[in-house]
Amino acid sequence: MASTDVFEYDTPFTPTRPRKKRKNKNTPDRPNPQEVLERTKQELLAGEWAHDCKKLVRTALDTLSIQSPKVLCLGLGSPSSSRDARAQLAFLLEVCDDLTLERSNVSAYDPAFTDEDDQLLATLGMKRLPDSENRNAAYPLPEPTIVYMPHCDLQLYENLLRANWSRDRLPQLVLIANRFSEYLDSIPSHKLTAEHPRVSRIAPTLDSFLLPPCPTHPTAFNNLSIQFARSGALPDSLWEGDVSRVTFAEADAMKLGRC
Q: What is the pLDDT of residue 217?
A: 97
Which residues partner with 73 through β-bridges?
108, 148
Q: What is the pLDDT of residue 243?
A: 64
Q: What is the pLDDT of residue 107?
A: 98
Q: What is the reported pTM?
A: 0.84
Contact (Cβ atoms closer than 8 angstroms) between residue 165 and residue 186: no
- Each residue's pLDDT expressed in tens, for the chain with a length of 259 residues: 444 444 543 334 344 454 544 555 554 677 899 999 999 999 999 999 999 999 999 999 999 999 999 999 999 999 999 999 999 999 999 999 999 999 999 999 999 999 999 999 999 999 999 999 999 999 999 999 999 999 999 999 999 999 999 999 999 999 999 999 999 999 999 999 999 999 999 999 999 999 999 999 999 999 999 999 999 889 988 988 766 555 445 545 443 333 3
224-228 vs 207-210, strand pairing mode: antiparallel
Give 42-70 as a DSSP string.
HHHHSSSHHHHHHHHHHHHHHHTT--S-E
Cα separations in angstroms, 165 against 101, 138, 241:
26, 11, 13
Query: Could you give the 3-state DSSP secondary structure of residue 37?
Result: helix
- Backbone phi, then psi, for 112, in 5-degree steps? -75, -10
Q: What is the pLDDT of residue 13?
A: 39
Query: Going along the chain, which residue ranges are E strands?
Result: 70-74, 106-109, 127-128, 145-149, 173-178, 207-210, 224-228
Of the candidates 239, 90, 69, 80, the one whose C-alpha atom is nearest the C-alpha of residue 161 is: 239
Q: What is the pLDDT of residue 10?
A: 39
Q: What is the pLDDT of residue 240?
A: 81
